[in-house]
Amino acid sequence: MTWTAADIPNQAGRTAVVTGANGGLGLETARSLASAGAHVVMAVRNLDKATEAVADIRRGAPEASLEVVALDLASQASVRAAAEQILAAHETLDILVNNAGVMGIPERRTVDGFELQFAVDHLGHWALTALLMPALLRADAARIVTVTSTAHHIGRAVDPANPNLEGKYGPWRARTPACPTPTSRR
């Protein structure tokens, strides 16, 4: 059995937030949800690419209900500002798709001092989800989808004593960490 976007049920009356909705899987997710009738909040870092993405979606779905919100997951201030903007416009949220991410990049720190991959792929989405939780809880049957790479299968737990991998950084070592368990060992 093959599942396709045509299998998405009618989403009319629902609001979805999709991070990284201006390209790749995020764009296709936004397109599919909007085509199914959802109002889609496209939370993106690059507003120029978002303008192109909106036009692209509307070429195939002229009636698509789309909204663009600036979101840089590498900045906790940007995450807070985006969440405030979304919450001010929407009493309830039905779907949150945490899709945006980076992987295998040179070592860099965010303005908040976190290793960039960890900040964008994990801390930014965690904070966004927590800040949007009140609106998600007000929905009848909200869903949160967190997209990850298959690299999470080979990840290891975050070291609480060195979450930024100081002195141990490698682009692929900083890949998606596994969820820590009480018995995790290095």
pLDDT tens digits, the chain, 186 residues: what are they?
A: 798 888 999 999 999 999 999 999 999 999 999 999 999 999 999 999 999 999 999 999 999 999 999 999 999 999 999 999 999 999 999 999 999 988 777 788 999 999 888 899 889 999 999 999 999 999 999 999 998 866 655 666 777 776 666 766 565 555 545 433 333 333
Residues 15, 173: Cα–Cα separation, whole Å: 36
Helix (H, G, I), strand (E, B) or coil at 54: helix
117 contacts: CB under 8 Å, gap ≥ 6: 102, 103, 105, 174, 175
Phi, psi of 66, deg, nearest 5: -130, 150
CATH topology of domain 11-154: Rossmann fold (3.40.50)
Which secondary structure element, helix H or strand E, spans residue 90, and what is its range?
Answer: none
State the pLDDT at residue 180: 38
Residues 33, 55: Cα–Cα separation, whole Å: 15
State the pLDDT at residue 106: 79
**Where are any strands of DSSP class E within 73-132?**
95-98
18, β-bridge pairs: 42, 97
State the pLDDT at residue 122: 87
State the pLDDT at residue 60: 95
Q: Taking Cα atoms as reference points, which of 25, 4, 11 lies closest to residue 149?
A: 25
- CB under 8 A, 24+ apart: contacts of 112-117: 112/74, 112/75, 112/76, 113/164, 114/74, 114/163, 114/164, 115/163, 115/164, 115/165, 115/169, 115/174, 116/74, 117/174, 117/175
State the pLDDT at residue 101: 86
Residues 110, 126: Cα–Cα separation, whole Å: 16
Q: Are 129 and 98 in contact (CB under 8 A)?
A: yes
State the pLDDT at residue 37: 97
